[in-house]
Chain A
Amino acid sequence: MLSFISKRLLVALLVCLTVSALSFGLMFVSGDPAIAIAGSGGRAEDAEAIRVAYGFDRPLVVQYLDWIGSALTGNLGQSIYFNVPVTEIIGNRAGVTLTLGFISFLVALVIAVPLGVAAALRPNGWIDRLALVIAVSGQAIPSFWLGLMAIVVFGVWYGWVPISGADTWQGYILPVIVLSYYAIPELMRITRSGMIDVLATDYVRAAKAKGLPMHLVISRHALRNAVLPLVSLSAVQLGQLLSGSIVIESVFALNGLGRLAWESLLRSDLPVVQAIILILSLLYVVLTTLADILNAVLDPRLRGGS
């Protein structure tokens, strides 16, 4: 187990290095950053001055090492637009997105997993059909439309919840509903198909033959094996939810990371964009690594070795 974890961590570290190089490289993919800052109508002398001031005249490797070095110490550079440290801007915006993402993920999980299990226990039963309707509509209805409809119905007509902003906890209700509704279908379908596969196995039959009550057969024997693909999918889904949704944050006027990334792109505020990409990529690496380790805890065959 220890060797498995250390191997996984080594791989994760290598992925992190690659990701950091790629997000650093982004700065130069879209053209000369100095000209971008100076503006397309700017003078060549200004661009040159900017190039020197920002250190763009140095070799790429040196710039990368400089950037990654400061990133490691928690310094992600200065926002070109706001002229304040990038970490400060991101810190101000991350709270909303993280809160929204975590709560939505938990809500989605709490609804999707029991629903998937119930659907699998009686395929084509009424719960299964209801779950299918939820899944299909969840995947087919665009979240901006659902968000707007929710605002109109619950915010405007009934006035139960605020229509925008996250100043109070009530402000999170509608975004959480919309975002988790978007995450539920995939989580539920994978739980359902995993459970159907596992329930047909001989070891589930053997567990019943041992005289175990159904709830133990399901929780101890079936679910543990069925959740392996769910764990991997959850890592990706949680990553998506935590990286912030431009659509949801725009519809509900939440100042989160999704909107910040979008606005920074429009402003050509490359240090911010770079930092967000780096942080989100690292987040994915951490989540998938955790998922792999969790799966190895659940399934001894994945640990390798003995």
Chain B
Amino acid sequence: MTEMMLDIRNLKVSIPTDRGLLNAVRGVDLQIAKGETLCLVGESGCGKSLTATSIMGLLPRYAKVTSDRFEMVGQDLTTKTDAKLAKLRGRDVAMIFQDPTSALNPTLTIGRQLTEGVMRHEKLSRSEAEARAIEMLDRVGIANPAARLTQYPHGFSGGQRQRIMIASALMGRPKLLIADEPTTALDVTIQSQILTLLGELQADLGLSLLLITHDLGVVAAIANDVAVMYAGRIAERAPVAGLFAAPRHPYTKGLLAAIPVPGVTPRGSELPAIPGRVPGLIGALRGCAFRDRCAIAGAECAHDPVPRISAAQGQFIECVKAGEVTA
């Protein structure tokens, strides 16, 4: 059995609102093996960023997070989660954020922001920490890194800032890297550069990578496994090749059908869209959350719990009709 860098069972996140408790994440299971890249995909509001942020323990206080099991980089975090997480952050686990412009502090130099973590955690001297910062900046493709340590974030372009964020995440030599839509705020041309960089780093450093995205093109490029999230649950998890070749969950099929393929999709034709809207997540939700939008839904889809059909290790699909879909 491969070593798990992340093993979460039945993760739930709820947020109190004026209209009741919003159950944004409703029982998510996530496993990532050492050196594996898992992409968590889904449309806006499906709970993927909340899932990632709760793994880092960075949700605001009012969010209620529970799980049956929470293990990360070989440590059991199920109990006393906050205190134990605090010791992992910036060391074994690091995170990259969506918008590098707002994730770098405008009033501190790049050098300060890169070195402050390891100077504390590993008791490095300033010059040792700066040497590592230069190494990491060089690694992520920032030219002339030594001279740029004294510069402030506003002296860098968006793509460079995301590279700096990645360098900052690598400073503590993490085993698990969580990237929350790291290319959403960047130009299309820069996006592929950043993703290529992430892929290379993942391979070179043997990182486990949890990549949150809603861009299926990104997924195809760098994932081993894909988890498709819908309305706070994982609908399907499969290896990337299998998922694109033979999606099994009706939602995954709908997602893939909505991607235009150059040369195949006729110009000017309307792309197929999934009808209906995402269900509201306030209060309890019975049965399959996708059934109102699903072409093959039947009466049995309203029953709880939705059966989980497991394939190979860690791979599954939650759909009572799944047999019919593949048939």
Contacts and interface: CB of A to CB of B under 8 A. Distances in A.
Interface of A: 122, 201-203, 205-213, 216, 220-221, 224-225, 298-301, 306
A211 B89 contact: yes
A301 B105 CA distance: 11
A299 B153 CA distance: 11
Given A206-B165, A211-B120, A300 B89 contact: no
Interface in B23-64: 53, 56, 58, 61
B121 interface: yes
24 contacts: A202-B99, A202-B102, A203-B106, A205-B53, A206-B95, A206-B97, A206-B103, A206-B105, A209-B90, A210-B89, A210-B116, A210-B117, A211-B87, A211-B91, A211-B117, A211-B120, A216-B116, A221-B108, A224-B108, A299-B106, A299-B107, A300-B107, A300-B152, A301-B154
Contacts of A225: 105-107
B90 A210 contact: yes
The 4 closest A-B pairs by CB, nearest first: A211-B90, A210-B117, A211-B89, A210-B90
Contacts of A210: 89-90, 94, 116-117, 168, 171-172
B58 A209 contact: yes
A301 B106 contact: yes
B155 interface: yes
B121 A203 contact: no
A209 B94 contact: yes
Interface in B80-121: 86-91, 94-95, 97-99, 102-108, 116-117, 120-121
Nearest to A221: B105
A203 to B, nearest CB: 4
Given A210-B89, A211-B86, A298 B102 contact: no
B177 to A, nearest CB: 11
Contacts of A208: 58, 89
Contacts of B106: 203, 225, 299-301
B56 A211 contact: no
Contact of B172 (A202, A211, A213): A211
A203 B89 contact: no
Contacts of B86: 211, 213
A206 B116 contact: no
Contacts of A122: 61
Contact of A205 (B90, B97, B154): B97
Contacts of A203: 102-106
Contact of B108 (A202, A211, A213, A220): A220
Interface string B143-176: 0000000001011000000000100110110000
Nearest to B121: A211
Nearest to A224: B107
Given A211-B120, A220-B116, A201 B107 contact: no
A202 B97 contact: yes
Contacts of B94: 209-210
A206 B103 CA distance: 6
B56 A209 contact: yes
B103 A202 contact: yes
Nearest to A303: B152
Contacts of B152: 300-301
Contacts of B105: 203, 206-207, 221, 225
A220 B119 CA distance: 15
Contacts of B172: 210-211
Contacts of A224: 107-108
Contacts of B169: 209
Nearest to B94: A209
A269 to B, nearest CB: 48
A212 B90 CA distance: 8
Most buried by B among A207, A209, A299: A209
A216 B105 CA distance: 13
B120 A212 contact: yes
B136 to A, nearest CB: 13
A208 B105 CA distance: 12
Most buried by A among B88, B105, B108, B155: B105
Nearest to A124: B62
A126 to B, nearest CB: 15
Contacts of B58: 205, 208-209
A202 B98 CA distance: 9
